[in-house]
A = this chain, B = another copy of it.
Amino acid sequence: MIPTITAFERSPDGGRGLARDMHVRWALEEVGQSYDVRLVSFGGMKQPAHLALSPFGSIPTYEEGGLALFESGSIVLHIAQRHTGLLPDDANARARAITWMFAAYSTVEPPILDRATAVILERDAPWHDERLPLVDDRIRKRLAELSRHLGDCDWLDGAFSAGDLVMVGVLRRLQRSGLLNEFPNLAAYVSRGEARPAFKRAFEAQLAVAMAASNS
């Protein structure tokens, strides 16, 4: 059965692959599972039909037979658990890879989301220029800890896993901040993720949607 995911009809990032459908597309490409995409408009995301799938009115969602999921992390984990290639076979290594998924969403991403909020929603606030460096320092603290853990390894814990997929996806949101370049091993880590053929296929697929939207 081919699953169907949802994605933005017009992604706010204009095709930079920062929306969370990218995590799911990438995971599906890594495991070689084809998928269908249903595009959702900003208005449609707040309609009952979409809210029934996604209570917070977000994308992506994932439908497969009688199963409907939301939250990119949960969807990536579901894909990783049902296919080979995104989680190690060893039970302990598997639990550690899942730990990195939670670390990406719960520990590394919150200050990055705070920065996005500051830049998008509080850009004109009188405190913006003075507060942004505080937010950036909180991100640096997390990046320094992650950088120290990664060291000169290719991936966070042995072979590439769903934990790396999600962590790279989270760190890519810092592209325009310049912060990632302060930690060369993390910048290289993100580049390593982006160089994977499955990433490239996923990126091209979401870019094609953005290009179609900008031409319509």
User: Which residues of B are found within 8 Å of A134, using beta-carbon distances?
Assistant: 121-122
A-B contact pairs, 7 of them (CB 8 A): A67-B96, A69-B96, A69-B99, A73-B106, A74-B98, A114-B114, A125-B127
A55-B145, A92-B66, A142-B56 known; A106 vs B107 contact (CB < 8 Å): no
Instruction: Mark A126-152 against chain B: 1 for CB-CB distance below 8 A, else 0.
Output: 110011001000100010011011000
Main secondary structure on A side of the interface with B: helix
Q: Is A183 an interface position by the 8 A CB rule?
A: no
Q: Is there contact, CB below 8 Å, between A106 and B103?
A: no
Q: Which residues of A contact B (CB under 8 A)?
A: 51, 55-58, 66-75, 77-78, 92, 95-96, 98-99, 101-103, 105-107, 109-110, 113-114, 117, 121-122, 125-127, 130-131, 134, 138, 142, 145-146, 148-149
Distance of A138 Cα from B92 Cα, bound (Å): 38
Chain B residue, CB-CB nearest to A126: B127
Q: Which residues of B contact A125 (CB under 8 A)?
A: 127, 131
- The CA-CA distance from A69 to B121 in the complex, in Å, is 36
B55–A73 CB distance below 8 A: no
Q: CB-CB < 8 A to A98: which residues of B?
A: 74, 77-78
A120: min CB distance to chain B, Å:
12
Other than the known A73-B105, A74-B95, A125-B131, what 5 A-B pairs have Cβ atoms closer than 8 Å?
A55-B103, A71-B102, A75-B99, A106-B106, A109-B110
- The docked-state distance in angstroms from the alpha carbon of A110 to that of B111 is 8
Which 10 pairs between the two chains have the least Cβ-Cβ distance?
A127-B127, A55-B149, A74-B99, A73-B102, A71-B102, A74-B102, A105-B106, A67-B92, A56-B145, A110-B110
